[in-house]
Chains A and B, each alone.
Chain A
Amino acid sequence: MKGYKIIVLAKQVPDTRNVGKDAMKADGTVNRAALPAIFNPEDLNALEQALRIKDDFPGTTVTILTMGPGRAAEIIREGMFRGADDGILLTDRAFAGSDTLATSYAISQALKKIDYDIIIAGRQAIDGDTAQVGPQVAEKLNLPQVTYVEGIRQIEKGRIILKRRLERGVETVSCPIPMVMTVNASAPACRARNAKLLMKYKHAKTITELQNADEDYLHLYNNRPFLNIREWTVNDIESNPAELGLAGSPTKVKKIENVVLQAKEAKVLTSSDNDIEQLMKELFESHTIG
């Protein structure tokens, strides 16, 4: 058996779930630099599905494709520590300011340069919650898509059978390969780092990172090709500049308002018996309860 070529689309995101007080500036706005950059949670669920196919079908390879700034190579390494074989970092100033459509264009142009059977992405990223890039990539590559995947039932005879979690139910669908799927948070969590893989890949680097690497290690990269993370710029893909970055983004941000809270007149109470009694009395009197 030859296995499958799987591409996991992943994104490094600011951890918006944990915006603590230390991440807020004095003017009440968010200090983005203070937020840790993490592997987008549902992309980890996607990686797990890819690794399960690799477990079941020897010869399968799992490649992480991410678009972002140089430091996004961190999530490629993170994926390798958990079982991915390699990764591609798509990084260029030309991609800056991309909305979901321009992002999906760049990613689909990169995918056209490589072989794939199954493309797996997380349902959505926590910094935007749009859930758009997966389906937009599928459309651009003219591939069928299955969204909100919770698990893989079977892969056989060129088709993959998947369980989907919908708002009000579940569906089991059969889809021809090649295809794109997006994976839900309700799918199994990603396996932990593997100690051996951590040792193997901890020095994996992109070409840009290598320029700052310790000279003593440089010989490693010739002897161990798996330590080289592919770094692609706009010149490594075929693209129409009008469809990239800000120019290729139909949506524009007209206005950003920081959320500034206007306090309204509230009655401030404690948890004392007396205060709670007063509150309940008032709610009864206004017929809010009772």
Chain B
Amino acid sequence: MNNIFVYCEIEDSQVAEVSQELLTKGRSLANELNCKLEAIVIGNKLEGIEKQILPYGVDILYTADDERLYPYRTEPHTAVVVKLFEEQKPQIALLGATSIGRDLGPRVSSALHSGLTADCTSLLIGSHEDKKQGKKYENLLYQIRPAFGGNIIATIINPDCRPQMATVREGVMKKSVLDTKYKGQVVKLDVGKYVEDDDFAVEIIERHMEKSKVNIKGAPIVVSGGYGMGSKENFQLLYELADVLGGEVGASRAAVDAGYVDHERQVGQTGVTVRPKLYIACGISGQVQHRAGMEESAQIIAINTDPEAPINSIADFVITGNVAEVIPKMIKYYRTNTK
């Protein structure tokens, strides 16, 4: 009772990266709150799945195993999670801010009348005093996220409703196995008691999943472009530099929204979080949502015509100048000095 729950996503019998990251975070929060870490996995053919989950320090893993439960569909997964939460009354529930978590989370919060904060960039435990009502709260989950176009950082709390729910993007938290031999319990749910036939009214007719083609998360060098690049054509220069340096191309949300580059390359709060050894920000102003996805890079170079661009404040090198002029010079220098 009153433990921390992590909803684990499954794709091709593998627990998603983001779920592993949340299990790691969940474990450290559970230690701080002196409670148990529990997980729920819903799918089909889940035998052995606990081997991927318990090592993160999971005390109880609930499995709902039924051929109708994979691939993910909103209503049956909602039904299982809602009923299980009603029974177990977790104090905190964490989901990935993914296609699945952002579909399921609000549905569950609506059914349970609990608060849900999307796309948190940090989760902490803290206290709160409501002076108007003279109430004090201990051990609340601080759900911290940029808001309002990244111009503010908001700390959200759910003082009275449980569970305190939050979604987090992949890559924001770090994953680490606690103990490969961690002793946790596996509880198999009787699926028939959790879902009804009506929950399966939506049918999946066709499904094509593709592995992400680009891997900016794992790239040692990321060359990123922003709205200041001006066009899709100008992005070509970034691909050239990334190619020469052995890196990948990233982008700010403004560049993605403008159609210069695909969403899968977006770095930031609503995109990917990266920690490369070198991040080259080209024509990026550097709103806080973008910075949330790259500020832990080991070295940052900002190339911008605007000497006052916010990105400059976190850069190690600020080049005030035109990207179209600077990058060819970098490529040229690299080529002539690596032969």
**A positions within 8 Å CB-CB of B:** 14, 16-17, 19, 29-30, 32, 99-101, 104, 126-140, 144-148, 161, 166-176, 185-186, 249-259, 261-264, 266-271, 273, 275-277, 279-280, 283-284, 286, 288-290
Q: Give chain B residues whose Cβ lies under 8 Å from the Cβ of A251.
A: 115-117, 143, 156-158
Give the segment of B43-51, B85-93, B204-212, B229-237 that binds chain A: B204-212
Check A131 against B106 for contact (C-beta < 8 Å).
yes
Q: Are B154 and A168 in contact (CB under 8 A)?
A: no
Query: A287 to B98, alpha carbons, bound, how many Å?
Result: 35
Contact A279 B317 (CB under 8 A): yes
- Bound Cα distance A276, B336 (Å): 14
Beta-carbon contact of B117 and A280 below 8 Å: no
Select one of B99, B110, B154, B201 contacting A104, CB under 8 A.
B110
Measured between beta carbons, the chain A residues less than 8 angstroms from B151 are 16, 19, 29-30, 258-259
Complex Cα distance, B160 from A271, in Å, reads 56
Is B318 an interface residue when CB atoms closer than 8 A count as contact? yes
A110 to B99, CA, bound (A): 28
- Give 26 pairs: A residue, B residue, CB < 8 Å, sorted on A: A16-B150, A30-B148, A127-B148, A138-B107, A139-B110, A145-B74, A145-B103, A148-B99, A166-B209, A168-B212, A169-B207, A174-B203, A175-B203, A185-B257, A250-B160, A251-B157, A255-B155, A258-B151, A259-B150, A266-B315, A268-B318, A269-B317, A276-B326, A276-B329, A279-B301, A279-B330
CB–CB A167/B98 < 8 A: yes
Q: How many B residues have CB within 8 A of the partner chain?
A: 88
* Overall SS of chain A's interface: mixed
- With A266-B312, A271-B329, A273-B329 given, name 16 new contacts (CB 8 A): A17-B257, A30-B151, A131-B106, A148-B99, A168-B212, A169-B207, A171-B208, A173-B205, A250-B113, A250-B158, A255-B155, A256-B153, A257-B153, A259-B151, A280-B330, A280-B337
Q: Would you call B106 and A132 a contact (CB within 8 A)?
A: yes
| B284-339 residues at the A interface, CB under 8 angstroms | 287-288, 298-299, 301-302, 310, 312-322, 325-326, 329-330, 333-334, 337-338
Q: Which B residues have a C-beta under 8 Å from some C-beta of A? A: 11, 71, 74-75, 78, 98-99, 102-103, 105-107, 109-111, 113-119, 128, 142-143, 146-161, 201-212, 221, 245, 254, 257, 263, 269-270, 277-278, 287-288, 298-299, 301-302, 310, 312-322, 325-326, 329-330, 333-334, 337-338
Q: Say yes or no: B109 contacts A168, CB within 8 Å.
A: no
- Asked if B161 and A139 sit within 8 Å, CB to CB, the answer is no
Q: For A289, give its contact among B161, B203, B321, B334 (CB under 8 Å).
A: B334
A-B interface contact total, Cβ < 8 Å: 238
- Asked whether, in the complex, the Cβ of B149 is within 8 Å of the Cβ of A16, the reply is yes
Question: Does B158 contact A252, Cβ atoms closer than 8 Å?
Answer: yes
**Contact yes or no, B206 A172, CB < 8 A:** yes
A196 to B318, CA, bound (A): 52
Q: Of B102, B159, B204, B326, which one neighbours A171 at CB under 8 angstroms?
A: B204
In the complex, what residue of chain B is closest to A260 when comparing beta carbons? B313
Q: Let me know if B204 and A172 touch, CB within 8 A.
A: yes
B157 nearest CB neighbor, chain A only: A254
- For B221, what are the chain A residues with a Cβ–Cβ distance below 8 Å? 289
Q: How far is A290 from B75 in the complex, measured between Cα atoms in Å?
A: 51
The listed residue (B71, B118, B312) touching A131 by CB distance below 8 A is: B118
By a CB distance below 8 angstroms, the chain A residues around B209 are: 166, 168-169
Inter-subunit contact A127/B318 (CB<8 Å)? no
Cross-interface CB contact of B313 among A161, A176, A263, A280, cutoff 8 Å: A263
